[in-house]
Structure 1
Amino acid sequence: MEETTTTTIVMYPAPGIGHIISMVELAKLLILQQQQHFSITILLSTGFFDNPSIDSYINRISTSHPSITFHRFPSVTALIRSNTQSLAATGFKFIKSNNINVESKLRQISQTSVIKCFIIDLFCSSAMEIASTMGIPVYYFFTSGAAVLALYSYFPKIHSETTASFIEMVGVDIVAPGNASLNAVLMPEMVLDREDPAYWEMLYMCEHISLAKGIVVNTFLELETIAVKAIVDGTCFPDLGSNPPPIYCIGPLIADPQQPDEAKDNKDCLSWLDKQPSKTVVYLCFGSRGSFSMAQLKEIAEGLERSGHRFLWVVKRPIQEHLGMNQVHDTTVEFELNSVLPSGFIERTKERGLVVRSWAPQVEVLSRESVGGFVSHCGWNSVLEGVVAGVPMIAWPLYAEQHVNRNVMVEDMKVAVAVEQREGDMFVSGEEVEKRVRELVDSERGREIRETSLKLKDMARDALGKFGSSTKALSNLVQTWNDN
């Protein structure tokens, strides 16, 4: 009897647990959509942004979803980050060094299966040519929103119109289709400095967006109408005319965060929230890596104390001020809350506030009836989690593309107020923290934002419903593969 040829989808996330989880969530969604007509293989690199939780996570997914298999590449250890090379440049170099592994694995899979498509993270663009020369259709999975995708698609045009680094263009606004104007110095770090090899890798990546067979985006049509239109109409692809790659908005795709060892202790915050009155608690959390200097933590504490409002605040290990970056990459280092907050703060606010160390179950927190506001770093996963929960937000961007997201949240979605950040070091005063908390909870504008947030919550649910825009987009995507 002739053996039936199997069909498979191969996925390739960028390094890091966050990118892996997002890709796995897409894989789970595809399996649900197409009743397992395809198997799915996810390729994982080893040696950069590794985390002990990755292995336990993929073991759990392999057990619960047997049609998803993982293949780990051998460790690439030749890359040692130098003091003169940015983390982003190292990351791009690492991804490129795995191209030989990508080609080998794709050829191996092709011997026993028909690869319907190769879905890659945008940061893995250097692997596109490998698959294309093998006749495998390449699709991008973009884990941020449509506004950032529109900006990146237009970036080659912006690049061609200046020779200066954005970091030097103080007071100059960057304008891209589908986006509000953005101060040049607030562009994503990877493109700020033309002297950084990461800038040129980003340019290469952005030039390849238009070459994809399609782009899958973790957003939904009704959330980012302006940016989606700019992509569909091709205005952010000025060299393509009216023939941009198709975009498939399949979100909101919400992934459960990985729970650290202290998760049980930190889940106590849920029972605390359940005892608070409806819509009275402001939740502050700045993503998996967002952190602050001791001086900034002091200002936040003073602002919260003066606001008089209830709060749940997730505090991470403080950063060293001389590093100038609002993120920590090792969140496992122990520290005492009392040692990083103003003397007596926890005791003075214990009747209306709770401070937890390092981590909280964010999706569960945001779903609590008592939560009435969310101070967020504007990371895209957090934005979507706030939208799905219908919680109004205070936008406090820290790094990466978060200033772009801030603009979308405030000006297009109208689900957030933004903190005023000091020019240069982006410091936020305690008075500003107090002002924005009061504005969100007490003011007429805050009431309007709450109403808009609840409407978007309903739209997010409808987008994933039987006849919703995201459900249709996913069905159309799968149909293109079935037709080939």
Structure 2
Amino acid sequence: MKEKTVVLCPGLGVGHLTPMVQLAKLFVQHGVAVTVALVEPPVKSLDISAAVARAAASNPSVTFHVLPPPPPPPPPASAADSSISSDIIAKMFQFLAAMNAPLRDFLSSRMPSVDALVLDMFCADALDVAAELELPAYTFFASGAGDLAVFLNMPGTRASMKTSFKELGDALLSFPGAPPLKASDLPPDCSNDSEGCKAMLRMFERMPEANGILVNTFESLETSAVRALREGLCLPDRATPPVYCIGPLVSGGGAEKEHECLRWLEGQPDHSVVFLAFGSIGTFPKKQLEEIAIGLEKSGHRFLWVVRSPRSEDHKLGEPLLEPDLDALLPDGFLERTRERGLVLKSWAPQVDVLHHRATGAFVTHCGWNSTLEGIAAGQPLLCWPLYAEQRLNKVFIVEEMKFGVEMRGYDEELVTAEEVEMKVRWVMESEEGKKLRQRVAAAKHAGSEALKEGGSSHAAFVQFLKDL
């Protein structure tokens, strides 16, 4: 029997590359040959380059191929005729659509040996390439089933409304598979009727054109959303393609055993350290960093905190940030006063290894889905501090549906106070309610592990996907 071959296209950004690499490893485990077709961002990013280098070095059985850049767009006849949008989200979609030509050339050179194309959700326009080559195409949705349920429903809901989601403010919305949520919890980029928002809604409309949708979740984590998707409630006017819950696809860690923070954690008691990290691009202004520092100091608890330099107004997404000057950013004397029970890292930490360390006892997170799954897979209670993209929506599911975390109040007013930081750290580390939350996450950790084993729901879903393929 001929070995199957798939090509994965992860789109842009570390947050989309990381789970796609885990998916590639899953294909390899099931005897499928994999090539990851990488799209280089228009703005060179050291974070992405480093992530690609790490992925390639640690996965020799996966082929990584960098697609050539797209042909330049024709020059506009006048400024008014320019087809290049100033909206950053619209520009991203224009760039990814332009990558169709290099992707088509790459796939054509390998046909007929390629059996399927698996696309990141942002690469929905590449469904046209698959159709042209008569190649089965699947969407890999790197976030949760709850987000997918909401997103598939959004284009039809918006078409029936007289106003934008943004203008609804804190009005409650009801979507199949989701608890009641505020309109302001929807991602800003798909709620404000901007050019980028319209491009996002078009993407949500196109996703069901795929032969199926692979979701980085497991059934028992999001039962309501999975049920709504499978019963077709999220797309009442058209057929929902098969939905395969194949997660949690998270890194196993272990690549940075000698990192200073892991040596530091070795000297701390079990479950005693609060870990604060906010994703690959999450940053705070100096005032917010000071509030976090004061709150951590007053809490009296041990902490491990990843600090990035504040992003200036003219900073372009993808450009490297300057290394943070901790003495300038944090309150005078803070590092010295807390050095016996705290460690502040500049810019990056081996997050998976930290979360799985016996000394770590809670996770202050931006609620990106990769980080959320990594926290759950490590059994860590979550203190939710969403920053951008779909993270407010994830917060709703984590707090209201899963009950694995609590909200850090004030994020939506752009300042979480020192008092709030102190109170929530004490709550999760000291209270009976915090203990119960930890027990619930520990049960989910076990369930996620079981789902991936032979006979588990995610293993069975992936085997079914390969049969359908």
TM-score (norm. length: structure 2): 0.91
Separation in 2, partners of 1:285, 1:391: 13
CA offset at residue 429 of structure 1? 1.1
Determine helix, strand or coil for the equivalent of 2:34.
Answer: strand
Instruction: Quote the Cα distance in structure 1 between the aligned partners of 2:323 and 2:288.
Output: 20
Contact 2:8/2:37, CA 8 A, preserved across alignment: yes
Match in the other structure for 1:9: 6
- Indicate the residue corresponding to 1:445 in structure 2: 433
CA distance in 2, matches of 1:198, 1:162: 19
Shift in alpha-carbon separation, 1:145–1:49, aligned structure 2, 3 A: farther
CA–CA distance in structure 1, aligned partners of residues 349 and 240 of structure 2 = 41
State how far apart, in whole Å, the 1-side matches of 2:159 and 2:416 are: 34
Residue identity opposite 1:305 in structure 2: E
Deviations 1:418-448 (A, max 9, x none): 111265x432111111111111111121011
Distance 2:69 2:372 in 1: 34
Tell me, yes or no, if the aligned pair for 1:289 and 1:331 is still in contact at 8 Å.
no
Which residue number corresponds to residue 201 of structure 1? 199
**Per-residue Cα deviation, 1:69-102 (whole angstroms, up to 9, x for no partner):** 3332222474799997232111111001111222
Residue 79 of structure 2 aligns with which residue? none
- Relative to 1, partners in 2 of residues 1:357 and 1:74: Cα closer, same or farther, differing over 3 Å? same
Q: Deviations over 1:325-350 (max 9, x none)?
A: 9x964444223111100111111112
Shift of 1:175: 2.1
- The one-letter code sitting in structure 1 at the alignment partner of 2:170 is G
Describe how 1:451-462 pairs up with structure 2 within 5 A: 451-462=439-450
Q: In 2, distance between residues paired with 1:78 and 1:40?
A: 29
Change in Cα spacing, 1:462 to 1:49, as seen in structure 2 (3 Å) is: farther
Match of 2:99 in 1: 98
**Secondary structure at the residue paired with 1:115?**
coil
Determine the structure 2 residue equivalent to 1:152.
151
User: Which residue in 2 is equivalent to 1:70?
Assistant: 64
Is residue 16 of structure 2 the alignment partner of residue 19 of structure 1?
Answer: yes
- 2:38 is the counterpart of 1:44: yes
TM-score (norm 1): 0.89
What is the distance in 2 between the residues matched to 1:60 and 1:296? 32
Matched, 1:251 2:229: no
2:235 corresponds to which residue? 237
Give the structure 2 partner of residue 368 of structure 1. Answer: 357
Unaligned runs of 5+ in 1: none
1:185-232 deviation digits (Å, cap 9, x = unpaired): 3311221321x2211111111111222111101111111111111111
Whole-angstrom CA distance in 2 between matches of 1:422 and 1:104: 45
Residue identity matched to 1:23: M
* Post-superposition offset of 1:165: 2.7
- Matched residue of 1:70: which SS? strand
Q: Using a 3 Å threshold, how does the CA distance of structure 1 residues 422 and 59 change in structure 2: closer, same or farther? A: closer
Q: How many aligned residue pairs are there?
A: 462
CA distance in 2, matches of 1:433, 1:273: 21
Stretch moving more, 135-144 or 10-19: 10-19
Distance in 1 separating the partners of 2:230 and 2:85: 40
In structure 2, how many angstroms separate the alpha carbons of the residues matched to 1:339 and 1:56?
27
Structure 2 portions without partners, runs of 5+: 76-81
The equivalent residue for 2:337 is: 348
Indicate if the aligned counterparts of 2:365 and 2:384 stay in contact, CA closer than 8 A: yes
Question: Retained in 2: the 8 A contact 1:237–1:244?
Answer: yes
Q: CA deviation at 1:162?
A: 1.8
2:228 corresponds to 1:221: no
Q: Which residue of 2 aligns with 1:336?
A: 325
1:160 CA displacement: 1.2
What is the aligned-residue RMSD (CA, Å)? Answer: 2.7
CA contact (8 A) 1:420 1:432 kept: yes
Alpha-carbon distance in structure 1 between the residues aligned to 2:53 and 2:318: 23
Residue 11 of structure 1, CA deviation:
1.6
Deviation at 1:65, TM superposition (A): 5.0
Give the deviation of 1:416 after TM superposition: 0.5
Q: Which amino acid aligns with 2:464?
A: N
Residue matched to 2:283: 291
Q: 1:62 to 1:274 in 2, by over 3 A?
A: closer
How far 1:6 sits from its partner (Å)? Answer: 6.9
Question: Matched residue of 1:222: which SS?
Answer: helix
